[in-house]
Amino acid sequence: MRYLLFIPFLLLVCCKNATPTSFGELNPDNIAQQKFVLTSGADTTVRTQSGVLIHICANTFATANGTTFELVVQEALTKSDILMSGLPTVDQEGKLLESAGMINIITNPILEINPECPISVKVPTNGLHPNMSLFTMNVNNGETSWKYQAPLLSPKTLESLKTGEQLYVKYCQPCHYIDQRFTGPALGCIEMGENRRTREWLIKFTRNSQKMIADGDTLAVCNWNAYKPVLMNSFQFLSDEEINQIFDYISSESLRTEICNKDFDLGRIGLQECYQSVTDSTFKYSSDSINFPFNHTFYYEFSTHKCEWLKWSYFINTEDVVENFKVKINEDVEMHMIFDRYKSIVSFVKFGEYYTMYNIYGEKVNLPLNEPVTIIAFTREENGHRKFIEYKTTIKPVNSFSLELTSITADEFRKILKSYQ
């Protein structure tokens, strides 16, 4: 109800004079199309370049059985791809989204999807973020926003994460923190990055680390050398399921608190020699995992009855009071804010004298205080050049300033767009 009352009001107040400033150069056509030639009438699973699994069952395209068609997939999972796609990561009410990924699934020719057997999608992930949800795209006058559909974690999964947390607090927290060293090493991000431990190894280690050390397991010995003489208890009484729940919780918490980065592993063991031995001998990618760099694989799963852009995301907490941006630039520019810590991008619109932020429904975009961001603004290209600025700042309660642009080549511009990872 609030929604219905608010929209027309805001449209009048703010959008009458606010003009979208997209030059249309950043658009979904910039995202590579992956094409799969399939025959309908058979159960089929395809795997995209980033490891997303798309499953079509024998009846999905019942009306076209036996015919050949093309399944065309576009996916944007990196910040730079999200920027190139020109799809801002804001919902209908102006709430900011962390964009874990977006995918567009279409068929050529267009085929009707059997509602009893929708296209199902499985997205591999390093851990399950408790708030991850599905969104679909809304387009209004060429501008985009996202509509919340449903949570992606089932009540059963959430329950299991909760059990994992309880077990972790009871048995592990006396000696371990997730995000830093304590009596034992930090346990966060332990299944992520180049030196991740396998689930199998983690279960064995948790059951009886001393036996692994005695047996000469490279990594166990390294851990021991870094932390001896403190002994880790053996947890023989925990079942596989319980240990799995503990590490599911640890991975989920690592994602939720956004602590994982390249240095985290090195800090965990604290010995450079161990890092080397881990990288060299213990954890080689198997050839099967080149495009699929996950070990104990978690999945987000969802299905769709429509060929359209889908997005798996969660709301970024933005309870803070931040006044809308007022940026003055003496040029006609397209302008975006790229969050440093989130895969999240918001576009500016022109409002009278300055550039500011409303979504397509005229709702002010809610921004989190103190977040580090990079603002980019650019003019149209002319003779292989355009004027550009990349401005790094943090979001303050009031954000009012002017920016001066400088000239760069088209090549430099493309490189910069590609550099946001």
What is d(CA 264, CA 188) in angstroms, rounded to the nearest whole number? 8
| Interface residue with ligand HEC, options 142, 174, 352, 397 (CB under 6 A) | 174
What is d(CA 399, CA 375) in angstroms, rounded to the nearest whole number? 12
Q: How far is the CB of 245 from ligand HEC (least distance, A)?
A: 10
The answer to whether 205 contacts ligand HEC (rule: CB under 6 A) is yes
- Compute CA distances 108 → 35, 36, 37, 69, 112, whole Å: 10, 10, 10, 6, 11
Q: Which residues in the 260-299 window bind ligand HEC by CB under 6 A?
A: 268-269
Amino acid letter, 241: E
Q: Which of the stretches 124-132, 217-225, 375-383, 412-420 binds ligand HEC when contact is defined by CB under 6 A?
A: 217-225
- Compute CA distances 72 → 260, 307, 420, whole Å: 33, 10, 26
Q: Structure tokens of 122?
A: 């499985």
What is d(CA 55, CA 278) in angstroms, rounded to the nearest whole number? 36
| Interface residue with ligand HEC, options 227, 283, 294, 391 (CB under 6 A) | 227
Q: Which of the stretches 101-109, 125-133, 200-208, 313-321 binds ligand HEC when contact is defined by CB under 6 A?
A: 200-208
- Cβ closer to ligand HEC: 52 or 219? 219
Which residues have CB under 8 Å from 165's CB, separation 6+?
A: 249, 253
In this structure, how many other beta carbons lie within 10 angstroms of the beta carbon of residue 384?
A: 9
- Cβ closer to ligand HEC: 202 or 346? 202
| Interface residue with ligand HEC, options 4, 110, 230, 290 (CB under 6 A) | 230
Q: Which residues in the 134-173 window bind ligand HEC by CB under 6 A?
A: 171-172
- Cβ closer to ligand HEC: 149 or 234? 234
Contact between 71 and 46 under an 8 Å Cβ cutoff? The reply is: yes
The answer to whether 51 contacts ligand HEC (rule: CB under 6 A) is no
Contact between 409 and 384 under an 8 Å Cβ cutoff? The reply is: yes
Q: Which of the stretches 201-209, 340-348, 371-379, 398-406 binds ligand HEC when contact is defined by CB under 6 A?
A: 201-209
**HSE (CB half, 13 Å, CA atoms) of 299?**
12
Q: Structure tokens of 193?
A: 């990055």
| Interface residue with ligand HEC, options 232, 333, 337, 375 (CB under 6 A) | 232
Radius of gyration for the alpha carbons in the chain, expressed in angstroms and rounded: 24
Which residues have CB under 8 Å from 34's CB, separation 6+?
A: 48, 49, 72, 73, 74, 75
The answer to whether 185 contacts ligand HEC (rule: CB under 6 A) is yes
| Interface residue with ligand HEC, options 101, 127, 164, 184 (CB under 6 A) | 184
Q: Which of the stretches 80-88, 114-122, 204-212, 335-343 binds ligand HEC when contact is defined by CB under 6 A?
A: 204-212
- Cβ closer to ligand HEC: 200 or 340? 200
Q: Which of the stretches 75-83, 179-187, 317-325, 333-341 binds ligand HEC when contact is defined by CB under 6 A?
A: 179-187
- Cβ closer to ligand HEC: 48 or 251? 251
Amino acid letter, 341: R
**Residues at the interface with ligand HEC (CB under 6 A):** 171-172, 174-176, 183-185, 187, 197, 202, 205-206, 209, 219, 223-224, 227, 230, 232-233, 235, 246, 268-269
